[in-house]
Structure 1
Amino acid sequence: MAKLKFHKVAAIAVFIVTAAWVATGEFSSVGSAADEAQTPAEKEPAKEAALLRTVGVVDAPRIEHARAIRISGYTDADKRAVLATRAAGIVRELPISLGDRVEAGELIVKLDAEGKEAAVETARQLLAQREAEANASRRLAERGSIPKLQLDNALSALAAARSQLESAEADLDRNIVRAPFAGVVDKVDVELGSSVQAGAPVATVLNLDPVLARGEVSERDLGYVKPGDPAQIRLVNGRELEGEIRHISRDATSATRTFRVEVAIPNEDRSVPAGMTAEITLRAEPVLATVLPRSVVTLSAEGDLGIRAVDAEDIVKFYPIDLVDDTPGGLVLGGIPEDVRVIVAGQELISEGDKVDPVEADPETIKKLVSEATGSTQ
């Protein structure tokens, strides 16, 4: 039998050693034995710690802030009257012109009397005559010189004369148009000497103190405002004014389901005209609210708008918000409990119910929030 070559003997030896090693089932040399030495209870905390996300939180400052309800509107006169004639005639007196200020009862237009003044004078003389006759009849009746029926006829004639005078004076008064209230003459429709018909407009008078800002508030916000509450008005030219809610309609506009609101604005110098576009901000009673940057607001899984916060056990909670005001410094929000820490960084990477590792936000963020809440400019 021929001798086996050396390389064949070496191959057989390696095969036998490898088979023996596999048969033992020991693989500790690759590190698995060290892992199996740890119990599941020991591995779970390490796994949980590795999965916790770090988020930035703050104890948001809370302030008393009046709810702001912003609506679009326009300015309007407190009173507006289109004056018209009550009789036909020729304009004899026109003492007013555009822009004049008039007082209540001041003459606006007077038409030619055309004999009506004479009719008044005639009726006045007749009344004086009837009064004298009635007095004479009364004295005679008291002495029994005339029957009572004759006295009654004299008293009836007196009453008719008095009625005739009143009718003549009323007919003459129809030729005169007076201002019904103090205001400004905004329009004059007639000229001196022109002919007008009964019912024709002759002038328009506006009362612009106070001037009104009119708008409509939604049914959702109706419960937050009431007459007497303050309001701010910003005109289209940038001018800002202060006013007070004077009236809120109790009957909704059928097409929009909104309610008319009137805000009275002092306007002694009549510098605010009627008909200007205005943004009206109604201020309700102050409520406890939290000031937060706009970036904090997020959406829940159901699509609701709100913020995320962590509770005492570092569990993420979602809180729907109530927008109290939108200021240049940030959002003023209601509906956030006092005992939660608001997440201001990392809120988009987590979900409700997650356990997180909350850390206090950086000093600059906290300083900014405090500055916004207190109104400081530092």
Structure 2
Amino acid sequence: MPRIRFHKLAAIVVLIGFAAWMTTGEFSSVGSASADNKAKAADAEQPKTPETGKPKTAEAEPKAPLRTVAVITPPRRTYARAIRISGLTEADKRAVLATRVAGVIDQLPVKQGQRVKTGDLVLRLATEEKVSAVSNAKQLLVQRQAELAAAERLAKTGNLPKLQLDNARSSLTLAQSLLEAMQAELGRNEVKAPFDGVIDRVPVELGSSVMVGGEVATILSLDPVIARGEVSERDLRYIKLGDEANVRLVDDQTVKGTVRYISRDASSATRTFRIEVAVPNPEGTIPAGMTAEIALSAEPTDAVMLPRSVVTLGDKGDLGIRAVDKDNKVVFFPIDLVDDSPKGLVLGGIPADARVIVAGQELVKEGEVVKPVEADQATIQKLLGEANAGTQ
């Protein structure tokens, strides 16, 4: 029993010692631990160099040179936005004249191209029986008037009953209505000009027969003549009633007119708005249906003229120009196209002090630092010449 108790006690002591050794974290041998401690001490005593802990390749790489771009501060001018619209001319008024009754054409005093005034006779149908009917109605009216006068005289003396007097008055009223109806029927045989204009088409001949509603003539009013076109929704805000417009015809004739109508309902197919420009045409020399170009001028605005090559796309797909700010960083300015002239683009939305990149703008991006140099004198003179030409 004493021996068994001694071994148990020894096992417990060994277990406690092993646990204490494990908690110290020292698993290496005494010799290696000493070597490590000496190495650490030597490292601690050795002075650190400036290169310690820094990658050698970071300072070894040379910096990339800045990209060189040509810049210019373009001259500014006051421009009026030019709005050009393709269209055609048309008559101010147009009417297709037709008969109201059937008959045979008895008179046709007009010809194609003839000028007429309001109320001028254009056509008359044969009216023999209708003239006779009007004559008979007039005679009947005279008779009924006489009968009424006699009935009134007899009624005053008491020799005529009141009922017969009323019948005489009713007969007179019917005779008057019959005469008016016959005269109206006779009037339907005539076709007259509804307004001043020119007879453009006469599809019938003298002596031919026409049906009710048959077309007999087309009349046009060409003073003023109307230049009609479609304006885009982008340019609609620049146009108002009463604006002056230049209308260039296909024969290079240019005339002036005034905007008289702007539609407020866009075409569902093209999203454009109809406009009409009234052009004085007292001699009728401008025909309807001729191709025309309508030129309007918007309110003047401050803008610059630059070559088309300067315009580029931004990172978001906007149309604009690239410039250099005071820190030589590339900036992008969206533009407003004021006009597209043969000399170049007239652009708005560019700050007054902007240094526009005219060479190398496609090789840089927004935020990049560049080396700007002024464009050569030839480029400056070209831009100045284009700007001056655009204001003349």
- TM-score normalised to the size of structure 2? 0.75
Aligned to 1:195: 209
Q: CA deviation at 1:170?
A: 0.9
Aligned to 2:74: 59
Aligned amino acid, residue 68 of structure 1: A
Of stretches 368-377 and 249-258 in structure 1, the one that deviates more from structure 2 is 368-377
Q: For the residues of structure 2 that align with 1:283 and 1:147, how far apart are their CA atoms?
A: 84
Aligned amino acid, residue 349 of structure 1: L
Instruction: State whether residues 92 and 224 of structure 2, in contact with CA within 8 Å, keep that contact through their aligned partners in structure 1.
Output: yes
Q: CA deviation at 1:369?
A: 3.5
Aligned to 1:344: 358
Aligned to 2:269: 255
Of stretches 261-270 and 119-128 in structure 1, the one that deviates more from structure 2 is 119-128
Q: For the residues of structure 2 that align with 1:307 and 1:137, how far apart are their CA atoms?
A: 101
Instruction: State whether residues 197 and 219 of structure 2, in contact with CA within 8 Å, keep that contact through their aligned partners in structure 1.
Output: yes
Q: For the residues of structure 1 that align with 2:358 and 2:159, how far apart are their CA atoms?
A: 109
The 3 A distance-change label for structure 1 pair 293 and 120 is same
The 3 A distance-change label for structure 1 pair 304 and 376 is closer
Spell out the pairing of 1:219-230 with structure 2 (5 A cutoff). Answer: 219-230=233-244
User: What is the DSSP-based 3-state SS (H/G/I as helix, E as strand, rest coil) of the residue aligned with 1:212?
Assistant: strand
Are 2:303 and 1:289 aligned? yes
Are 2:317 and 1:303 aligned? yes
Instruction: State whether residues 74 and 304 of structure 2, in contact with CA within 8 Å, keep that contact through their aligned partners in structure 1.
Output: no
Aligned amino acid, residue 351 of structure 1: K
Instruction: State whether residues 304 and 348 of structure 2, in contact with CA within 8 Å, keep that contact through their aligned partners in structure 1.
Output: yes
Cα offsets for 1:274-332 (capped at 9, x unmatched): 22223333433333332222222112233321111223333221111111211122212
Q: For the residues of structure 2 that align with 1:141 and 1:374, how far apart are their CA atoms?
A: 100
Are 2:240 and 1:240 aligned? no
Q: CA deviation at 1:367?
A: 4.0
Q: For the residues of structure 2 that align with 1:377 and 1:224, how far apart are their CA atoms?
A: 20
User: What is the DSSP-based 3-state SS (H/G/I as helix, E as strand, rest coil) of the residue aligned with 2:75?
Assistant: coil
Of stretches 272-281 and 180-189 in structure 1, the one that deviates more from structure 2 is 272-281
Spell out the pairing of 1:133-172 with structure 2 (5 A cutoff). Answer: 133-134=147-148, 152-172=166-186
Instruction: State whether residues 61 and 370 of structure 1, in contact with CA within 8 Å, keep that contact through their aligned partners in structure 2.
Output: no
The 3 A distance-change label for structure 1 pair 142 and 313 is farther
The 3 A distance-change label for structure 1 pair 130 and 284 is farther
Q: CA deviation at 1:346?
A: 3.0
Are 2:230 and 1:216 aligned? yes
Aligned to 1:109: 123
Instruction: State whether residues 69 and 361 of structure 2, in contact with CA within 8 Å, keep that contact through their aligned partners in structure 1.
Output: no
Spell out the pairing of 1:361-372 with structure 2 (5 A cutoff). Answer: 361-372=375-386
Aligned to 1:97: 111
Query: How big is the alpha-carbon RMSD for the aligned residues of Structure 1 and Structure 2?
Result: 3.0
Instruction: State whether residues 100 and 189 of structure 2, in contact with CA within 8 Å, keep that contact through their aligned partners in structure 1.
Output: yes
How many aligned positions are there? 334
> In the alignment, which of 306, 324, 327 is matched to residue 313 of structure 1?
327
Aligned to 1:122: 136
User: What is the DSSP-based 3-state SS (H/G/I as helix, E as strand, rest coil) of the residue aligned with 1:172?
Assistant: helix
> In the alignment, which of 285, 294, 308 is matched to residue 280 of structure 1?
294
Gaps of 5+ in 2: 1-58
User: What is the DSSP-based 3-state SS (H/G/I as helix, E as strand, rest coil) of the residue aligned with 2:139?
Assistant: helix
Q: For the residues of structure 2 that align with 1:220 and 1:152, how far apart are their CA atoms?
A: 75
Cα offsets for 1:186-222 (capped at 9, x unmatched): 1111111111111111111111122222222233333
Q: CA deviation at 1:268?
A: 2.0
Q: For the residues of structure 2 that align with 1:377 and 1:371, how far apart are their CA atoms?
A: 10
Q: CA deviation at 1:119?
A: 1.6
Are 2:97 and 1:83 aligned? yes
Instruction: State whether residues 56 and 346 of structure 1, in contact with CA within 8 Å, keep that contact through their aligned partners in structure 2.
Output: no
Q: CA deviation at 1:148?
A: 5.9
Q: CA deviation at 1:47?
A: 5.8
The 3 A distance-change label for structure 1 pair 322 and 133 is farther
Task: Give me the identity figure in percent.
Answer: 60
- TM-score normalised to the size of structure 1? 0.77
> In the alignment, which of 164, 184, 194 is matched to residue 180 of structure 1?
194
Q: CA deviation at 1:106?
A: 0.8
Q: For the residues of structure 2 that align with 1:143 and 1:317, how far apart are their CA atoms?
A: 113
Cα offsets for 1:204-256 (capped at 9, x unmatched): 11111222222222333333323222333333333333222221222222222
Instruction: State whether residues 76 and 302 of structure 2, in contact with CA within 8 Å, keep that contact through their aligned partners in structure 1.
Output: no
The 3 A distance-change label for structure 1 pair 352 and 86 is same
Gaps of 5+ in 1: 1-39
Q: CA deviation at 1:93?
A: 0.9
